[in-house]
Homo-oligomer: A and B are copies of this chain.
Amino acid sequence: MRALVFNAAFDVTVDEVPDPQIQSAGDAIVRVVATCVCGSDLWYYRGVSPRKAGSRIGHEFVGVVEAIGTDVGSVAVGDFVIAPFMFSDGTCPHCLNGITSSCVHGGFWGSQGTDGGQGEYVRVPLADGTLVVVPGGQPDAELIPHLLALSDVCGTGHHAAVGAGVRPGMTVAVVGDGAVGLNGVLAAKRLGAERIIALSRNPARQAIATEFGATDLIEARGQDAVGAVVELTGGLGVDATLECVGSAEAMTTAFAIARPGSRVGFVGVPHDIEFPVNIAFQNNVGLGGGLAPVRTYLPELLADVLAGRIRPGLVFDLEVPFDELPAGYAAMDERRAVKAMARLA
């Protein structure tokens, strides 16, 4: 089969690799129908984070179950399924506590011995715990991007909102206008925020933010952005802040605009962050979030997608043939695209 392989910074290719086989009784083989590139893929693509040459990549996919191991009971051959960005057993204490991203048997796609999500087929370990079935078989083509967004960015944006403690009526700010930040806007709206301030200077992203529920757009950066948000909130700061980047500047901005007693929900993989612990202390601004337990949120978010209440896949503004997915990396790296996807089959 064909799958994406990481060779070096700025060098990913579609290579021929071995077809996956059932290895354990809990495995399933999924034929990938759609996959995509994540903002977090850019860290290694740009050479910022190390990654082993020759490793398989991608962690978001939806598809059809082609085979199952003898112990698999919750998915059947022919089911259309969504895979969250990590696999997890669903039965360990951390999974039962809702933190599937800390599953004691779980792990990442594309890690040692596992397939990446950007390939024609994926062996899914712990299939019962990991996969979520979309009822009704193969969905309409129009629905695919919204289901694919549930693999990561929709649940991750939701986790930022949950970590920030968003509740109905709140004024919320979202730092970061990538696919996760935009889904953070969506999540804040879904959780009842009354006013949603999106920090974005890109017209295309602003449009999606507005579609997702943003009521105010701030184009400034750094201290100017802080001043603008503080002014918008009558000097108080916002009731909840979503930090959806993972950079030092984003974290500093997030804490500076947070109202005393509020929380910052962070979901961006932290990179070189000097955490503003003194502001956190002085202003009683808490921190929530982390590596999103997307699997936990999938059923409730899927129900909203199927009911047409949310359309998280609007963040896909570039669709390429699978063989050209490396061009999707380049487009995202150069900020020509918010998020690139590819359909297979």
Q: Chain A interface (Cβ within 8 Å of chain B)? A: 93-94, 97-99, 101-102, 163, 236, 259-261, 263, 266, 269-270, 273, 275, 277-278, 280-291, 293
Contact = CB atoms under 8 A, between A and B. Distances in A.
Contacts of A260: 94, 97, 99, 101-102
10 contacts: A94-B261, A99-B261, A275-B277, A281-B289, A283-B290, A284-B289, A284-B291, A284-B293, A286-B286, A286-B289
Contacts of A259: 97
A15 to B, nearest CB: 30
Contact of A280 (B98, B261, B278, B287): B287
B236 A93 contact: yes
Given A261-B102, A273-B277, A277-B275, A291 B282 contact: yes
Contacts of A287: 280, 286-287
A24 to B, nearest CB: 23
Contacts of A291: 281-284
Q: Quick one: which of A99, A285, A290 has the most chain B CB within 10 A?
A: A290
A9 B290 CA distance: 41
A280 B280 CA distance: 14
Nearest to A260: B102
Contacts of A278: 270
Contacts of A285: 290
A160 B289 CA distance: 19
Nearest to A266: B281
Contacts of A289: 281, 284, 286
B236 A284 contact: no
A102 B283 contact: yes
A167 to B, nearest CB: 13
A283 to B, nearest CB: 6
A277 B270 contact: yes
A163 B259 CA distance: 16
A284 B275 contact: no
A288 B269 CA distance: 20
Given A275-B275, A277-B275, A278-B270, A284 B93 contact: no
- A-B pairs, 9 with minimum CB distance: A284-B290, A102-B260, A275-B275, A99-B261, A287-B287, A286-B288, A99-B260, A281-B290, A270-B277
A302 B56 CA distance: 61
B284 A102 contact: yes
B286 A163 contact: yes
A339 B263 CA distance: 33
A253 to B, nearest CB: 16
A206 to B, nearest CB: 28
